[in-house]
Amino acid sequence: MAIRPGKWFERKTRERAARQWTALAGRVERLHPARLSRLRDEARELRGSLDRFLIGADRHASRSRAALDALHLPGGTDWRWRPGFMAGQVSPRGLAGPESGDRLGEGAAVWHDCPESALILQQLANDGATDLSPFGMRLEVFGFAGSFLSLSIDLPESALQGLTRSHILRLETGIFAERALGVYARLNIGHGPNTDQATLQLRRFEAGHYSRQVTEFDLAYIPMNEKRLEKIWLDLIFEAPRMNAVEIRELFFSRHLRAQF
């Protein structure tokens, strides 16, 4: 590949400036007050420019991800959604030793019966070349002594608007596991006093491998009352999670009508 002198010179200039600021930070205590004052003004101006660049770059990356999302959706898709903790920063960013039902952000909760709560749940920034979601979630499990562990994701009310048994709910996941792991996806739909469920097993995740897959729930098999829909949520259930770390780098929901013949 040919080297463009202008671009090469720009990159080297930025690298040199970064080295200069790193060196200045290392000897800031020894700088003369007058010079320190001037450098502080320069640093503030530089930080403002960097912040504006990062905001613009993040906005552009979000638009690019949205365009890529659309390319992968089936024809007739009438709703799409990504959980809040995948799309933006949440507070708190992490939970150490969470109790059952504790939430990370507004729409995600961890459920378990481990007496020691030997878990860490934290949001992470996705930086992989193929990651479409800006953020993900990491779940670390230590000496797990419980019988179940799941992550519950509340879907918004917009998922219920116009929802019928002729729809297929599509779930795209991207998950990395340090050790081999089985994961189930359970869809829950509350209508009136009843809640109906459908559970599907995701492909088994091999140790140290990142896997993307699509799971589809055909709502024709869920006897829900379309006129009384009240709530919808998904449970990701982890099978034998002891001494493992799981990174959820993608959770993307969409729906489309089943093809009619």
pLDDT digits (tens, 9 = 90+) for 72-81: 788 888 999 9
CA atoms of 119 and 113, how far apart (whole Å):
11
Beta bridge partners of 195: 190
Higher pLDDT, 112 or 116: 112
**Do residues 243 and 187 make contact, with C-beta atoms less than 8 angstroms apart?**
no
Assign 59 a pLDDT band (cuts: 50, 70, 90). Answer: low
Rounded to an integer, the average pLDDT of 15-39 is 85
At residue 5, the pLDDT reads 63
Query: How many Cα atoms are found within 13 Å in the side-chain-facing hemisphere of 236?
Result: 25
Domains of the chain: 5-71 (no CATH), 79-257 (2.60.120.260)
Q: How confident is the model at residue 2 (pLDDT cuts 50, 70, 90)?
A: very low
Question: What CA–CA distance (Å, rounded) separates 173 from 244?
Answer: 18
Q: What's the confidence (pLDDT) of residue 166?
A: 94
User: Where does the pLDDT of residue 170 fall: very low under 50, low under 70, confident under 90, or very high at 90 and above?
Assistant: very high
Supply the pTM of this predicted model.
0.71
Residue 63: helix, strand or coil by DSSP? helix
pLDDT higher than threshold 80 for residue 168: yes
Q: Between vectors from CA 104 to CA 98 and to CA 108, what angle results, nearest 5°? A: 105
pLDDT greater than 50 at residue 1: no
Tell me the pLDDT band of 238, cut-offs 50, 70 and 90. Answer: very high
Is residue 71 helix, strand or coil?
helix
Least trusted range by pLDDT, from 25-34, 128-137, 191-200: 128-137
Distance between CA 194 and CA 188 in Å, rounded?
Answer: 10
